[in-house]
Amino acid sequence: MAKIRVIQGDITRQMVDAIVNAANPSLLGGGGVDGAIHRAAGPELLAECRRLNGCKTGDAKITKGYRLPASYVIHTVGPVWRGGAHQEAELLSSCYRRSLDIAEEHTCTSIAFPNVSTGIYGFPKELAAEIAIRTVNDNLERLLTIDEVLFVCFDQENYSLYQSHLR
């Protein structure tokens, strides 16, 4: 069964088959982790993203990784936090599930997730960590090609939350 690991760091530096991007619905680039991924991957990434016609909240789309160490980028669109009564939890869970599905379709063996929606989109970090870990855990047994799921936390607060949830 796949192993889960948590580290604190920059997702653009991870040597995994696929890194997940916390994108916006246009897939045309933004700030935060999205900006960092586009800068590190080079302009070819944006060119490919332009051909995808965007992505719905809770869904994901895959591109190549270009200049990144990762072969693929899986762009998922997390929900904007609007108080919690707008399907935010279900949509965030769906981001993790769809990203795993797409990674498996591309026979990836390793995948790295950022803390989707917990930056500009304002999702409470504690709840987001709980949902991310639960969703990955609930899907571990059915994964065939993936043997490692990495949570890459950028800030100390998320890193501490993930460490305590995974303990």
* Per-residue mark of binding to ligand ADP, 79-108 (x: CB under 6 A): ------------------------------
77 vs 143, which CB is nearer to ligand ADP?
77
Euclidean distance between CA atoms 124 and 105, whole angstroms:
31
115 forms part of the interface with ligand ADP (CB under 6 A)? yes
**Contacts with ligand ADP: how many residues (CB under 6 A)?**
21
* Per-residue mark of binding to ligand ADP, 120-139 (x: CB under 6 A): xx------------------
* Per-residue mark of binding to ligand ADP, 5-44 (x: CB under 6 A): -----xxx---------x---------xxx-x--------
Contacts of 83 (CB under 8 A, 6+ apart): none
Could you tell me which of 121, 49, 112, 70 has the C-alpha nearest to residue 92? Answer: 121
- Stretches 50-58, 85-93, 139-147, 152-160: which one binds ligand ADP (CB under 6 A)? 152-160
| Sequence letter at residue 157 | E
Contacts of 55 (CB under 8 A, 6+ apart): 23, 25, 27, 61, 75, 76, 77
- The string of DSSP letters for 45-71 reads HHHHHHTTT---TT-EEEEE-TTSSSS
Parallel, antiparallel or unpaired: strands 72-77 and 60-64: antiparallel
Nearest-approach distance from CB 115 to ligand ADP, in angstroms: 4
Instruction: Give residues in contact with ligand ADP (CB under 6 A).
Output: 10-12, 22, 32-34, 36, 78, 114-121, 152, 154-155, 158
As annotated, the active-site residues are 34
